[in-house]
Structure 1
Amino acid sequence: MNSLATPSHNRQMSAALPFSRLRAPVEDLYPRLFDAILEQRIAPASRFTEESLKQMFGVSRADVRRALTQLAHEHIIVLRANHRPRVAELDAEHTRQTLHARRLAENTLVRLACQRPSVEGLKRLRALIERERQAVEQDRRGAAIRLSGEFHLQLAQMAGNAPLAHFLGSLVPLTSLAIARSSRKTHSCCAWQEHLAIVEAVECGDVCRASMLMNQHLSHLEQTLLDSANEGWVAG
């Protein structure tokens, strides 16, 4: 009798294994880990370790380390020698400065995007909006917040100014963390309907309308987050 298991048998065995023992794709770990932070399943005060994350997500410690390093570069996770990783803390002034920098960057980026609205870029933006809409409808708050941020980063990519897009990439994750910790239980503070309106203006090359919509969008975000910060962030 052949001792090798058949493919169907292997699939059945995999289905029977607990989630923590199933190896997840490495490229899938970052969004899953970020979503867990945004949903406060990994809370600011929690004392998690690389080993606990390895067990939680069913990946190797090296995979966990790479994801944590990426989140540390985005200032979401604080990594210090001989200390456990921890989620970054926020304060109202830092949030205010981050939002101000975003407004300066995104006003320019949306204007540049209107000058070069590529078919493929618009397609990716609409796909992100659809995923965001589904996350909101399914009450997956972490995913909705993360996808909302990815929309802004994808729009920046389409604008074609790499240094400015890179700068925005350092601001959006922090904004996502602020949204997640907001005492006002909105899904993302960045409604997918507002994103869709911006895309439609960009597609038409309507610089004035796209800029107006982006400013309104960021003003709504700023008011919500700063009001929430003044009331006090949600405890982890």
Structure 2
Amino acid sequence: MKHDSTMDEGLRLSIDSTQEDRAHAIRDALRDAIVDRRLAPGTRLPEAEVGTLFSVSRTVARYALQMLAFEGLVQSERNKGAIVSNPSPEEARQVFAARRLIEPGIVATAIERIGPKEIERFRQQLAEEDHHKARRGVDAKRSEIKASGDFHLLLAEIAGNAVLEKFMSELVARSSLVIALYGRSGVSSCGHSEHEDILAAIEAGDSARASATMLRHIDLMEGDLDLRPRDGLTLRDALQV
């Protein structure tokens, strides 16, 4: 995987390819725990504990945390080490402002590239959202939120722009972090019915309607925020490793 030049190249070169693969796996596990709200904003992520939980050295754990920091999901604080980022209300507004700028364009591009196979993938995605929505419990809600985010990532994938796809992956992750801190408890702010409306406009080839529906959808997601903080699990409990 190609790494941005702003990351610590010396740290990457200090580990071998097997350790680097392990660092990516740790990054993915932590990322999933943050995105699906098992790790709350402000949760400490000590290198030593991460290394112990995943049976790796602190150097490998540090590299995994550094990748998360580059994505904006983790931040380092003096004398505290790495913690799950705790976005301010202004940062939350900026995340959704970025989505308003990016996603209508992604929708328009996806319409130009979409075909029957891609429509079927969206149908399967909506069916997965339905499945999780019908279930009860915290795990079901987390799965529903993840599936809802996957709808937006699928749009970016079908649009066929790798840079935008990566950017959307980071935006969806940051949105989940914002929702973890400010979203109403038990409510998926990424509405399934709105996804159906977006897909209907895409199927009709109506770029203007699809983009307008996406903007309304993002407005509703942001409007669902109530600024009340959420408690999360400990690092060990969240990862269950």
Deviation of 1:133 after TM superposition, in Å, equals 3.2
Task: Judge conservation of contact 1:35–1:142 (CA < 8 Å) in 2.
Answer: no
Deviation of 1:144 after TM superposition, in Å, equals 2.6
- 2:206 is aligned to 206
Instruction: After TM superposition, list the pairs within 5 Å mapping 1:56-135 onto structure 2.
Output: 56=53, 60=56, 67-79=64-76, 84-135=81-132
Between 1 and 2, higher relative CO (CA 8 Å, sep ≥ 6) is seen in 2
TM-score scaled by structure 2? 0.69
Deviation of 1:99 after TM superposition, in Å, equals 0.7
Q: Structure 1: 5+ residue runs without aligned partners?
A: 1-24
Alpha-carbon distance change, 216 to 59 in structure 1, aligned in 2, over 3 angstroms:
farther
Q: Deviations over 1:103-124 (max 9, x none)?
A: 1111111111112213343333
Task: Judge conservation of contact 1:118–1:158 (CA < 8 Å) in 2.
Answer: no
* Greater Rg over alpha carbons, structure: 1
- 1:159 is aligned to 159
In structure 1, distance between residues paired with 2:191 and 2:55:
33
State which drifts further: 185-194 or 80-89.
80-89
In structure 1, distance between residues paired with 2:70 and 2:78:
15
TM-score scaled by structure 1? 0.70
Task: Judge conservation of contact 1:132–1:144 (CA < 8 Å) in 2.
Answer: yes
State which drifts further: 144-153 or 170-179.
144-153
- Corresponding letter in the other structure for 1:173: A
Q: Deviations over 1:13-35 (max 9, x none)?
A: xxxxxxxxxxxx99876564334
Identity value in percent: 33
- What secondary structure does 1:85 align onto? strand
Deviation of 1:59 after TM superposition, in Å, equals 6.0
Task: Judge conservation of contact 1:144–1:187 (CA < 8 Å) in 2.
Answer: no
In structure 2, distance between residues paired with 1:47 and 1:77:
9
The alignment yields a C-alpha RMSD, in angstroms, of 3.2
Task: Judge conservation of contact 1:77–1:85 (CA < 8 Å) in 2.
Answer: yes
State which drifts further: 87-96 or 143-152.
143-152
Please tell me whether residue 233 in structure 1 is matched to residue 229 in structure 2: yes
**1:43 aligned to 31, 37, 40, which one?**
40
| Length, aligned pairs only | 207
